[in-house]
Amino acid sequence: MLENLKLEPIYDGFLYLAESTRNLPSLKSHHHIELELNLVVRGGISYVVSGRRFTFERRTLLWLFPSQEHQLVDRTSDAQCYVAVFTPGLIARSCHSTIYEGLKRDNAGMDGVLHTRLEPETFDLVRKTMDALMKGAPDPDVLNREAGFGVRSDFRFKHDDPDGLNAGLHHLLLLAWRVQRPDNELGGAVPLLPAVREALDLLSETTCEHDLGQLARRCGASGAHLSRMFARQVGVPMSRYRNSVRLGRFFEHFRGPERKTVTEAAYMAGFGSYAQFHRVFTRAYGRGPRECLQARACSEARA
């Protein structure tokens, strides 16, 4: 799916710190015309790209090119990851010498995800550069809620100093490419079985609420085999992944134009009961839904 990041012409990209404790990521497979850079600051994250699952740990720098369909499928409960995107215009204006030619391509130029694990000193340098660019950005709660660009809303990324941000993104782009080491090993990529790939696609659909047996039949496998292989290959139990998708749907309904109540949005998201929803939400965010959502509303009012 081609995602529109809705960047205003004044911006050459954006940057935000995605945190497990603040943000529930969109689990849909997608790509966008912008080049994406991730820096794992804490914990670990897992993507599915080209039918394989890649897991990245702290200090890993990774690139997702415009034609690379990617899907965030899991992350640790303490995960923090900087996400930066760079527009094609910025890349065209910034990259003239041979060393930066690779930034102009549409794909990774390899069968996998281009990445490197930075040495501590280099990691600190890149992280401090990203930290500095966050000054003047929207409130972290708002950025996490909107995944930086605005999930199904009229949100648009804004920064108090667009020119300073654009200059910083230019510097960050070239710095990160210079520290990208050439030993681009795949780092334990796990090839996904066709049935597991089909299950991921089906579970990500808005209307998919099949039980395990129905899902397994659509994927051409037995329920036990599909459940076992999904957990082994994706790295997360199917029930946990399904609940993460449901939480994402909950926020879409709760924040949508119809402004559903918490209970209405929970049932529309596919939860069988409010008790189930409360249990899953509390496990994900460390607080009950009403307490957490009230705190977020206060944060938005201050923003």
| pLDDT greater than 60 at residue 298 | no
Rg of the chain taking only CA atoms, in angstroms: 19
Q: Which of 147-151, 162-166, 211-215 has the lowest mean pLDDT?
A: 147-151
| pLDDT greater than 50 at residue 176 | yes
> Pick from 179, 207, 234: which residue ends a domain?
179
Provide the CATH number for the domain around residue 110: 2.60.120.280
| pLDDT greater than 50 at residue 68 | yes
> Pick from 119, 152, 179: which residue ends a domain?
179
Q: Is residue 273 part of a domain?
A: yes
Whether residue 28 sits in one domain with residue 113: yes
Supply the range of the domain harboring residue 67: 13-179
- Dump pLDDT digits (tens) for 212-253: 888 999 999 999 999 999 999 988 898 888 888 888 788 878
- CA distances in angstroms from 36 to 12, 22, 54, 73, 302, listed in the order given: 12, 21, 16, 17, 29
For tokens 């702290």, name the residue.
58
| Helices marked H in 79-193 | 88-94, 120-133, 140-145, 162-179
- The angle formed by the CA atoms of residues 87, 12 and 134, to the nearest 5 degrees, is 120
Whether residue 208 sits in one domain with residue 102: no
Its pTM surpasses 0.95:
no
- Dump pLDDT digits (tens) for 40-56: 999 999 999 988 899 99
- Number of structural domains found in the chain: 2
Q: Is residue 7 part of a domain?
A: no
Q: Is residue 3 part of a domain?
A: no
What is the widest separation between alpha-carbon atoms in the chain?
58
Q: Is residue 104 part of a domain?
A: yes
